[in-house]
Amino acid sequence: MSQGPTIGSMEVHSSLSALEGVCKVILDLLGRYKYGDEDIFAVHLALEEAFSNAVEHGNRGDPNKTVRIDYAIDDKRVELRLTDQGNGFDPQKVPDPRLEENITEARGRGLLLIRAYMDQVEFTPKGNSVRMVRMRHPEPAPQ
């Protein structure tokens, strides 16, 4: 029997130390919905990257600003939206770290990981909010 969605939001101070509490809430919910290790890993990684980007790049490390996390989780999908209070950015202008000329640059790796592990990634036109969706993936068969 499937259970209905859990929908919620939280707003935390723009500090990397707040990430642990945010992850605990989301990962506990994934456990409650019995998501597999691969899905949990993917959501955890994307959440950490998006939150770190919001704090460091969006809010420029200003602890007086906040990051808002909206979530909707059910048996089939995890949807997260992170919004910072920064000026935003154009994700199309972030260099692709896989290209030869950017290989030694640190920029863009977090976005690359988010896009690799989430099924949908969308930014608002302003660029200060990202919506990420991960569909439940089937568990690999035991070897």
The ranges assigned to domains in the chain are 7-135
**What is the average pLDDT value for the chain, to the nearest integer?**
92
* pLDDT value, residue 41: 98
Higher per-residue pLDDT: 104 or 137: 137
Higher per-residue pLDDT: 102 or 42: 42
Q: Which of 29, 78, 89, 22 is nearest to 53 (CA)?
A: 89
- Which 3 state secondary structure label does DSSP give 122? strand
In this prediction, residues 129-142 reach a mean pLDDT of: 90
Tokens 């600003």 found at? 65
How buried is 40 (Cβ within 10 angstroms: 0-12 exposed, 13-18 middle, 19+ buried)?
middle
Is residue 62 pLDDT above 70, yes or no?
yes
Q: Report the percent of the chain where pLDDT is more than 90.
A: 77
Higher per-residue pLDDT: 19 or 105: 19
DSSP letters for 52-113: HHIIIIISTT-TTSEEEEEEEE-SSEEEEEEEESS----GGGS--TTSGGGTT--TTHHHHH
Top-level class of domain 7-135: alpha beta
Element (H, E) at 140: none
* pLDDT value, residue 130: 98
**Interval 78-133: pLDDT, tens:** 999 999 999 998 888 876 766 677 666 767 678 999 999 999 999 999 999 999 99
What is the amino acid identity at position 47?
L
